[in-house]
């Protein structure tokens, strides 16, 4: 059977891309927390503190936790996840409109289904 995908409903693309991008956003925040926890558990931040304190000297103590605390990491990853949700949703919907315009000119995407 030969079929042609001649139109994609932009509203359904908007809903599906929003849900999928929210899932990706949640995974982004969880991954950032897991990476931060792994680095903290491996004492990477403590070693970086020692290294920077050796460079700057005792008169200017350096604390990396001021920059990469769990709160800062979660906040930044959440902001990036929200931006990604808006971008992915908007671009997916835009591409659905563009596909509909292009398929009007060339007839759409032809798919052949077979029964084995």
pLDDT per residue over 25-79, tens digit each? 999 999 999 999 999 999 998 898 888 888 887 778 888 888 899 999 999 999 9
How many whole angstroms separate alpha carbon 71 and alpha carbon 61? 21
What pLDDT, on the 0 to 100 scale, is given for residue 54? 86
What's the confidence (pLDDT) of residue 65?
Answer: 83
Element (H, E) at 112: strand 109-112
Mean pLDDT to the nearest integer, 91-116? 91
Mean model confidence pLDDT for the chain: 92
Region class of 107: left (phi > 0), else alpha (psi between -120 and 50), else beta: left
Summarize the confidence of residues 69-95 as an average pLDDT. 96
């Amino acid at each position: 059977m030969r079929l042609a995908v001649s139109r994609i409903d932009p509203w359904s693309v908007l809903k599906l891309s929003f849900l999928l991008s929210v899932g990706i956003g949640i995974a982004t925040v969880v991954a950032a927390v897991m990476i931060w926890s792994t680095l903290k558990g491996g004492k990477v931040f403590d070693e970086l503190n020692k290294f920077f304190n050796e460079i700057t000297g005792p008169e200017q103590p350096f604390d990396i936790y001021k920059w990469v605390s769990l709160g800062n990491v979660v906040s930044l990853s959440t902001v990036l996840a929200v931006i990604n949700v808006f971008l992915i949703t908007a671009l997916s919907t835009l591409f659905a409109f563009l596909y509909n315009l292009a398929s009007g000119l060339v007839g759409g995407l032809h798919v052949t289904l077979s029964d084995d």
